[in-house]
Amino acid sequence: MKQSNNQTILVTGGAGYIGSLTVKQLCDDGYDVVVLDSLENGHREAVDPRAQLEIVDLADLDQTEKVFEKHKIEAVIDFAAYLAVGESMENPEKYIRNNVINFIKLLHCMKRYDVRNIIKSSTASTYGNPKKESDFPLIESYQENYQPSHSALLPGKWKDKELEGEEFFQEIITYYDFFYKSIPDFALSQADITKLRIPTSVYGLTKLLDEIILEKYNRILGINWVALRYFNVCGASLDGKMGEDKPKPTTLMTLAIWSLLDKIDKLQVFGNDYPTKDGTGIRDYVHPLDLATGHISALEYLLDGNKSAVFNLGNGTGYSVFEVIKAVEIASHKKVKYEIKSRRSGDPAISFCDPRKAKNILGWRAKYNLTDMAETAWKWHSKHPEGYNGG
Ligand SMILES: NC(=O)c1ccc[n+]([C@@H]2O[C@H](COP(=O)([O-])OP(=O)(O)OC[C@H]3O[C@@H](n4cnc5c(N)ncnc54)[C@H](O)[C@@H]3O)[C@@H](O)[C@H]2O)c1
């Protein structure tokens, strides 16, 4: 183990899937780590024993302040959020409250305790559903250049009413305004609102709103930030001892593995008639160990005094649904049973990022490929079919 470098990093959501692997890497690199997690979706067993765990919900401002009071925190890495796209369309208020309002509470504590640096988990969902081939690979300035007049939100529920697009969007903006309109610094400008029309899900919208709030905090209060937009995250620790443990996973690779472990009936493939090499959708995948090093590179970048920025974290290569299934079959030596369903509305044929900004500025690049993701994920899930609670 390396010597402590005496810098304490607060990791919110550090008992979750990506957070716990990042905590381990931070401990390996000699950082002192405090994990703040409600354990609502995280696991005590996933937290590295070298880190201190504070079981606190960010909704509880007093308890969160106590964590800042107790530890001398140098920087925050914020993973705490809800992330189920489908649920965010059914229960948008839950997502705005946790992903936005609780996030603002965290920033409030940072300001109060003079913590000036934060790395924020963002997502590819902030890109919505780009339509033009020339939009790919996706670059970080996409949201600055694309200015839609109507929201791309898919239909969703607002207080038991099914609403579509712009109407749904307006309810969400009104809800945010209810809390922050009276604070001019946090009121949304017309340019902010235009940008927020890009995501197709409430989940994606909350993450883009967090990026906008960070810009405001930077301008007004001098808090420095990096937002990392990750693409589809798959894989586990190399020894297969740490991995994704969610009651209802939504990622393709996990579902393919769960079908092999009889945890779900059959894998569903949505669309085999896309204009792609094998007819299935193409996406960018990234290993959580690469995300861990990405966060530490971003942390060092901020601690060196560099300016706030957004970076994509992805492989920059698209893999098709069939390629992911094949990789799982090779890793497991089993045949995945799947059924073809029609395309889901709002799913683009192809989506992958340009990770060159992270390479050029942070010196980061993804090291693990699809084979590594499938092998490590299979090792974890097949050895721990019940996740951490299964021992
Ligand atoms: N997993 C992915 O594919 C993916 C892709 C893109 C972005 N992200 C982002 O990465 C982050 C981590 O994702 P994950 O897959 O590790 O999710 P996860 O659910 O495994 O981890 C999130 C953790 O945050 C904790 N948490 C949530 N709300 C909290 C609150 N109010 N107070 C304290 N703790 C709270 C949960 O208990 C959980 O341990 C999220 O912000 C997510 O939006 C994930």
CATH number at residue 243: 3.90.25.10
pLDDT at 344 over 90: no
pLDDT digits (tens, 9 = 90+) for 70-94: 999 999 999 999 999 999 999 999 9
The residue-averaged pLDDT of 242-250 equals 95
State phi, psi for 311 to the nearest 5 degrees.
Answer: -135, 140
Ligand 1 pocket: which of 83, 237, 246 to mutate (most atoms within 8 A of CB): 83
Q: Number of C-alpha atoms within 13 angstroms, CB side, residue 329?
A: 11
pTM of the model as a whole:
0.96
Cα distances (Å, whole numbers) of residue 208 to 126, 149, 200, 232, 299: 6, 17, 11, 17, 20
Give the confidence band of 4 by pLDDT, cuts at 50, 70, 90.
low
CB-CB contact of 77 with 11 (8 Å) = yes
Pocket of ligand 1 (CB under 6 A): 12-13, 15-19, 37-42, 57-59, 79-81, 83, 98, 102, 121, 123, 230, 232-233, 251
What pLDDT, on a 0 to 100 scale, did the predictor assign at position 1?
Answer: 45
Whether 321 is covered by a domain: the verdict is: yes
Planar angle of CA 62, 65, 69, nearest 5 degrees: 135
The residue-averaged pLDDT of 160-172 equals 95
Q: Which tokens belong to 314?
A: 């992805």
pLDDT at 204 over 90: yes
CA of 272 to the centre of ligand 1 (A): 31
Cα distances (Å, whole numbers) of residue 133 to 36, 111, 137, 138, 217: 41, 42, 9, 10, 35
Whether 217 is covered by a domain: the verdict is: no
> Domain containing 329: what range?
235-285+315-381
Look up 82 and say whether it is catalytic: no
Whether 207 is covered by a domain: the verdict is: no
Whether 189 is covered by a domain: the verdict is: no
- DSSP state string for 253-284: HHHHHHHHTTSSS-EEEE-S-SSSTTSS-EEE
pLDDT at 159 over 50: yes
Cα distances (Å, whole numbers) of residue 190 to 41, 104, 126: 35, 20, 18
Q: Which of 17, 31, 127, 203 is catalytic?
A: 203
Most confident of 158-162, 187-191, 325-329, 343-347: 325-329
Give the confidence band of 5 by pLDDT, cuts at 50, 70, 90.
low
Name the percent of the chain lying above pLDDT 90: 88
What pLDDT, on a 0 to 100 scale, did the predictor assign at position 87?
Answer: 94
Q: Which phi-psi region, left, alpha or beta, contains residue 313 (left: φ > 0; alpha: ψ -120 to 50)?
A: beta
pLDDT at 160 over 50: yes
* Structural domain count of the chain: 1
Whether 62 is covered by a domain: the verdict is: no
Whether 112 is covered by a domain: the verdict is: no
| 125 Cα nearest atom in ligand 1 | 6
The residue-averaged pLDDT of 2-28 equals 90
Whether 157 is covered by a domain: the verdict is: no
CB-count exposure of residue 300 (10 Å: 0-12, 13-18, 19+) = middle
CA of 140 to the centre of ligand 1 (A): 22
Whether 281 is covered by a domain: the verdict is: yes
Classify residue 114 by its DSSP letter. Answer: T
Q: Number of C-alpha atoms within 13 angstroms, CB side, residue 387?
A: 18
CA of 24 to the centre of ligand 1 (A): 16
Q: Write b or e for each residue in 40-78: b if 16 or more Cβ atoms lie within 10 A of its Cβ, otherwise e.
A: ebbbeebbbeebbbbebbbeeeeebbebbeebebbbbbb
State phi, psi for 244 to the nearest 5 degrees.
Answer: -75, 130
State whether residue 20 is helix, strand or coil. helix
Q: Which tokens belong to 9?
A: 């990093």
